A and B are shown apart, each in its own frame.
Chain A
Amino acid sequence: MNNVNAIAVLAYRDLMKFLRDKPRLISTFIFPFIFIVALGGSLQAGFGSDIGYNFMTFTFTGVFAQTLFQSSTMGIISIMDDRDNDFSQEIFVSPISRYAIVFGKILGESLVALAQGIGILAFAAVIGVPISLPQMLIMIPIGIAICLVGGSFGLIIISNLANRRLADQIFPFVMLPQFFLAGVFSPIKRLPIYLDVLSHISPMRYAVDLTRSLFYTGQPEYPKVVLDGVFINLIVMSAMFALFLVLGTYFFVRNERNR
């Protein structure tokens, strides 16, 4: 019970921090805007109907998954932010389970990412991405699943890093390639074998594909945009979440104390 309260308060704190940080609020919506409108719109204009589906919608579904995944991954870095200077010290000396700390953090960053996701949905509806109400509603549980995987992915990455500066340097290298390998705004149906292998080990691939497999259910474009289908995506994501969470927490706590 104590751990449940601790998880709740940790998550609540992250959400409060986000909502009170106005510059961060604004900046989180700028990138999705650039990707969906500028990139999706220009590709749509360039390739037109040759590709057989609406490129703006394709990019929107990809960017939705990518934003949530990346936001929760990056949010986890703030757990290292910092061992010397912040509330983290206070959290680490409290008598709660280390798993509760890590899980509360992932949950909190997931809430933050979800708030961004809802913003993207509203924004997409306004600029005229064709989206129905059921499609909008199914995006919420998808978003939660993506955030949990993204958060645990962030954890396993930082669990073996010594400090925040190192984390900031490494993250572009683990995030940016996934933009392309996961097919956020580029079709990856046909890839050379080496890229296909890399794509299959990119966690973001499954987040993006889960989004599209549910978004496009019953649509004529489904076979053209979906790779693995709902079932496989969910299994892979659950396995990754469990593995990353357990291993990540173990390494993180061990490295935290054995300095």
Chain B
Amino acid sequence: MISDAVQEVKYQVPSLDVTTRTQPIIEVENLVKRYRKADRNAVDGVSFKVMPGEMFALLGPNGAGKTTTISILTTTLAATAGRVKIAGYDAETQSSAVRQNVGIIFQNPSLDMNLTGEENVRFHAILYGLYGFRPTYSTMPREYREQILKLAEILELDKDIFKPVRTFSGGMRRKLEIIRSLMHRPRVLFLDEPTTGLDAQSRITLWQYLRRVREEAEITICLTTHYLEEAEEADRICIINMGKVVAYGTPVEVKANLIDEYLVIDAEDRKQLRGELESREIHFTEIPQFRIGLNGITVHQILKSIETPLTHVQTHLPSLEDAYLAIIGSGDDE
């Protein structure tokens, strides 16, 4: 119980303004998974929350435990310990209700190559109890036909939806999977490394589609990735490494908490500069240039207060990549 409270405090992050009054749609508390015959936990006490409508990214290197976490969240894998709630339902005891409320796009395409795009989608719709079984597209209800055509249009797949999936490119297959996963109008869409194996162009357009889909379908998106630039697009990120959460918050918060912004200055007369900084009570470290932390003080304020002629001025603003590498690097033995 005490450890629960500690976790609570540790990950208490100021909520985004749109979500202050609502309950989290995903709640993960102290999740642990140890595979049979494994000697360490693949997921080791992970906790996080996702608010409705957020784009949430689970970031980490290969083998960090991302896919394991997502498998437990989508009820295909049983947890060793901990609690998971999706849309208010417990993943362990109410798995059927959870499944009804989530859409999943797996790391490897889960399409049936022998079927056409439309058949893949139709089978999904029937499996999710949206419509009764019909052997052909034309015998399906009008509502179904309109829904699939609309989604195909949004994702620009309308010309190809009736062709065999075998003939689709990687990007088209991903788009088809998105269409399929949205048919039962899930409240949360999980994507496990959705852009892996796609070229740069397809990756960018996939993100555009995801944003459009999020707006049109009013959905929460939870994805895993090992690409930083993707996570930087998210509202909130959770970085995990070796099965543990190492950073959690908005990209801005993660950046701010993990790496200090600092200013590096230098002068020909270092003695004079040192004296001046000391008299102004500005903390610094000599590396041998002068490195000044920018906590609660702006570059402008510092420069304004210095009269010694400077030979070097450089501000250091960390990218998320710096933060990420700093975190991953500290625990990485690969």
What's the minimum C-beta distance from B94 to chain A, rounded to whole angstroms?
11
What's the minimum C-beta distance from B63 to chain A, rounded to whole angstroms?
16
Interface residues as binary, B88-123 with A (CB distance below 8 Å gives 1, 0 otherwise): 000000001101101010101111101100011001
Assess the B99–A95 pair: CB atoms within 8 A: yes
Choice from A5, A8, A92 contacting B129 with Cβ under 8 Å: A5
Q: Is A87 an interface residue when CB atoms closer than 8 A count as contact?
A: yes
Cβ contacts under 8 Å, A91 to chain B: 127
Q: Is the interface of A mostly helix, strand, loop or mixed?
A: helix
Choice from B110, B119, B126, B131 contacting A90 with Cβ under 8 Å: B110
Q: Is A238 an interface residue when CB atoms closer than 8 A count as contact?
A: no
Assess the A93–B35 pair: CB atoms within 8 A: no
Assess the A5–B100 pair: CB atoms within 8 A: no
Q: Is A228 an interface residue when CB atoms closer than 8 A count as contact?
A: no
A17-B112, A90-B110, A90-B124 known; A9-B133 Cβ under 8 A: yes
A5-B132, A8-B133, A9-B133 known; A94-B114 Cβ under 8 A: no
Assess the B110–A86 pair: CB atoms within 8 A: yes
Assess the A95–B36 pair: CB atoms within 8 A: no
Assess the A5–B99 pair: CB atoms within 8 A: no
Q: Is B76 an interface residue when CB atoms closer than 8 A count as contact?
A: yes
Cβ contacts under 8 Å, A9 to chain B: 123, 126-127, 133
What's the minimum C-beta distance from A31 to chain B, rounded to whole angstroms?
23
Report A11-54 residues with CB < 8 Å from chain B CB.
Answer: 12-13, 16-17, 20-21
What's the minimum C-beta distance from B133 to chain A, rounded to whole angstroms?
4
Q: Is A85 an interface residue when CB atoms closer than 8 A count as contact?
A: yes
Q: Is B77 an interface residue when CB atoms closer than 8 A count as contact?
A: yes
- Which residue on chain B has the smallest CB distance to residue A4? B133
Interface bin, chain A: 20 to 34
Choice from B77, B78, B109, B128 contacting A95 with Cβ under 8 Å: B128
Assess the B135–A6 pair: CB atoms within 8 A: no
Interface residues as binary, A87-122 with B (CB distance below 8 Å gives 1, 0 otherwise): 111111111100000000000000000000000000
Interface residues as binary, A56-94 with B (CB distance below 8 Å gives 1, 0 otherwise): 000000000000000000000000000011111111111
Assess the A94–B128 pair: CB atoms within 8 A: yes
Q: Is A257 an interface residue when CB atoms closer than 8 A count as contact?
A: yes
Assess the B77–A257 pair: CB atoms within 8 A: yes
Assess the B114–A258 pair: CB atoms within 8 A: no
Cβ contacts under 8 Å, B126 to chain A: 5-6, 8-9
Assess the A259–B36 pair: CB atoms within 8 A: yes
Cβ contacts under 8 Å, A85 to chain B: 108-110
- Which residue on chain B has the smallest CB distance to residue A94? B127
Q: Is A132 an interface residue when CB atoms closer than 8 A count as contact?
A: no
Q: How many angstroms between the C-alpha atoms of A96 and B97 in the bound complex?
A: 10
Assess the B74–A95 pair: CB atoms within 8 A: no
A5-B126, A16-B115, A95-B96 known; A258-B78 Cβ under 8 A: yes
A93-B99, A95-B99, A258-B36 known; A17-B127 Cβ under 8 A: no
Interface residues as binary, B17-52 with A (CB distance below 8 Å gives 1, 0 otherwise): 000000000000000000110000000000000000
Cβ contacts under 8 Å, B123 to chain A: 9, 13
Assess the A257–B124 pair: CB atoms within 8 A: no
Interface residues as binary, B267-299 with A (CB distance below 8 Å gives 1, 0 otherwise): 000000000000000000000000000000000
9 contacts across the A-B interface (CB closer than 8 A): A5-B133, A10-B127, A85-B108, A85-B109, A90-B124, A93-B75, A93-B76, A257-B76, A258-B78
